[in-house]
Amino acid sequence: MSSPTSILEDQSKLSLADRTFFKLESFLNLMGGVIIFMLVFLATTNALGRWLFDLPISGYIDWVEQSMAFMAFLGIAYTKREGGHIRMDMLVSRLHGRRLWLVELFSSVVMLIITVALIYGSYLHFLRSYTLGDSSLDIDLPTWPAKLVVPFALTILALRIMLQIWGYSRAAFENNNQPVAVPLIEDAAAVAAKEAEALIKPDLQGDK
């Protein structure tokens, strides 16, 4: 499951690196959202053109296929930083303190190894596509940009995982219950308090 999380900050080098890198992750996530918006606009235009003028957009399917990689991968590091990925936390939620951070550290190291392997394989896939001049079936749209975004986005994810490994290692060493730069699972009371605060703030601004 995906549980609400929070990220703590302080003046340490780890927190500074986390906040700085988060700006890049936020930008890439925004670009993914822009591509989704453009795809919705493209789909609407294609439907209206086919319905009103019997004139669909040439290569519509090709454009949709190529955009899927950007939509799926550009926000992956952002999601990892925010703890928004789907995970099974029945065991982890019962752990606390150093034991919790050691388990998180172990899982992050395993995830980093898998991610590096995926970077290597996806880069070879991109290189083969670029070398052979691979293109789509309808309008001969080059496929290498969509294949390049996969190893690029996974590299950003790998750097984020490294930052979290740093954070979990520090938390385990210090036995800190409130570490920085790692997603902390919030309990129901904290989630309810944040939701109440979000509802109250607009009312207070309106009263002013």
| DSSP symbols for 27-96 | HHHHHHHHHHHHHHHHHHHHHHHHHHHS-PPTTHHHHHHHHHHHHHHTTHHHHHHHT-S----TTGGG--
- Residue 2 to residue 143: CA distance in whole angstroms: 33
Does the model's pTM come out above 0.75?
A: yes
Band of pLDDT at residue 190, cut at 50, 70 and 90: low
Q: Which of 44-48, 119-123, 153-157 has the lowest mean pLDDT?
A: 44-48
Band of pLDDT at residue 160, cut at 50, 70 and 90: very high
Q: Residue 7 pairs with which residues in a beta bridge?
A: 183
Taking 70 as the threshold, does the pLDDT of residue 193 lie above it?
no
The pLDDT tens digits of the residues spanning 97-133 come to 899 999 999 999 999 999 999 999 999 999 999 999 9
Q: How many CB atoms lie within 10 A of CB 195?
A: 11
- Residue 64 to residue 59: CA distance in whole angstroms: 9
SS3 9: coil
Taking 60 as the threshold, does the pLDDT of residue 2 lie above it?
no
The pLDDT tens digits of the residues spanning 62-98 come to 999 999 999 999 999 999 998 887 777 777 778 888 9
SS3 179: coil
- Assess contact for 50 and 56: CB atoms under 8 A: yes
Residue closest to 166 by CA, chosen among 116, 92, 112, 89: 112
Taking 60 as the threshold, does the pLDDT of residue 191 lie above it?
no
pLDDT of res. 3: 57
- Residue 126 to residue 142: CA distance in whole angstroms: 11
What is the average per-residue pLDDT within 15-19?
95
Distance set, CA 204 to CA 191, 196, 197, 207 (Å): 20, 12, 10, 5
- Residue 62 to residue 138: CA distance in whole angstroms: 7
Residues, the chain: 208
- Residue 7 to residue 109: CA distance in whole angstroms: 20
pLDDT of res. 77: 96
Q: How many CB atoms lie within 10 A of CB 27?
A: 12
76 Cβ partners below 8 Å, 6+ apart? Answer: 153, 154, 156, 157
pLDDT of res. 184: 85
